[in-house]
Amino acid sequence: MTAEHEHGAEDHVARNYDHIADRYAVHFCDELERKAFDRLMLDWLVDRTRSGTLCDLGCGPGHVAAYLARRASSVVGIDISPRMVAGARGRYRGITFQQGNMLDLDGVLEATFAGISCFYSIVHLRRDQLRDAFREMHRVLTPQGWLLLAFHVGEERCHVREFLGRTVDLDFQFFLPGEICKALEKAGFTVREALLREPYAGAEVETQRSYIWAQRA
């Protein structure tokens, strides 16, 4: 695989996740069992939205969507990687999974979702793509709808050549909570809470995590 810049960057990310989709599922599908804080955040999302459809954006193997679906009436998972989507469909029957790019959710109508969870999926965006991603999330949320974002805290962009024992070519972008809050407000959101947690030692990559709650104004 070769690095691609500017054009086709999202296709490039998708191909990389296609390449590791099966291993990613084996490694991460049960991770919520070890992550009490993440479960609490997802429980809040269900409590805060009560009715309406939830979307797990950048759903990967589908485990977050499956957690939500056990508590909410209607859940959709969206991911840019066709193999991630195919794996999620096979694993969690009864939940709708579809391919889509968070920068342009073509075919998703305005005000479709009461809530969006987006766990570690903005990590492949460049800073200058946040505006398009957040505008699109704002568009597809209902008025007063909730967005829950999770990401790694920092300023760096890390290039990764090997992931889960396979060769990849992926950049991981870290963000500061303040810059994310600003970008969300610019896209029309009202930021309600910005939370931090330390990593679960031994259970995940040792980075500080941020969870931001924003509401469509």
Ligand X SMILES: C[S@@+](CC[C@H](N)C(=O)[O-])C[C@H]1O[C@@H](n2cnc3c(N)ncnc32)[C@H](O)[C@@H]1O
Q: Say how far apart CA 130 and CA 213 lie, in whole Å.
A: 16
Q: Say how far apart CA 60 and CA 78 lie, in whole Å.
A: 8
Instruction: Assess 79 for contact with ligand X (CB under 6 A).
Output: yes
Instruction: Assess 180 for contact with ligand X (CB under 6 A).
Output: no
Q: Which stretch binds ligand X (CB under 6 A): 8-16, 42-50, 176-184, 193-201?
A: 8-16
Binding-site member from 124, 138, 209, 216 for ligand X (CB under 6 A): 124
Rounded to whole angstroms, what are the CA distances from 58 to 71, 118, 121, 125, 202?
A: 20, 6, 5, 12, 24
Instruction: Assess 49 for contact with ligand X (CB under 6 A).
Output: no
Instruction: Assess 191 for contact with ligand X (CB under 6 A).
Output: no
Tell me whether residue 148 or residue 217 sits nearer to ligand X (CB atom).
Answer: 148
Task: Tell me how many residues contact ligand X (CB under 6 A).
Answer: 21
Instruction: Assess 83 for contact with ligand X (CB under 6 A).
Output: no
Q: Taking CB under 6 A as the criterion, which residues in 152-171 touch ligand X?
A: none
Q: How far is the CB of 116 from ligand X (least distance, A)?
A: 12
Q: Which stretch binds ligand X (CB under 6 A): 53-61, 139-147, 154-162, 194-202?
A: 53-61
SS3 181: helix
Instruction: Assess 95 for contact with ligand X (CB under 6 A).
Output: no
Q: How far is the CB of 3 from ligand X (least distance, A)?
A: 16
Binding-site member from 19, 25, 54, 58 for ligand X (CB under 6 A): 58
Contacts of 182 (CB under 8 A, 6+ apart): none
Residue type, position 96, single letter:
T
Question: Which is nearest to 174 in space by CA: 202, 200, 199, 143?
Answer: 199
**Angle between helical axes of 130-140 and 177-186 (0-180°, round to 10):** 60
DSSP one-letter string for 84-141 = HHHHHHHHSTTSEEEE-BTTB-TTPPTT-EEEEEEES-GGGS-GGGHHHHHHHHHHHE
Residues that bind ligand X (CB under 6 A): 10, 13-14, 17, 28, 58-60, 64, 79-81, 84, 101-103, 119-121, 123-124
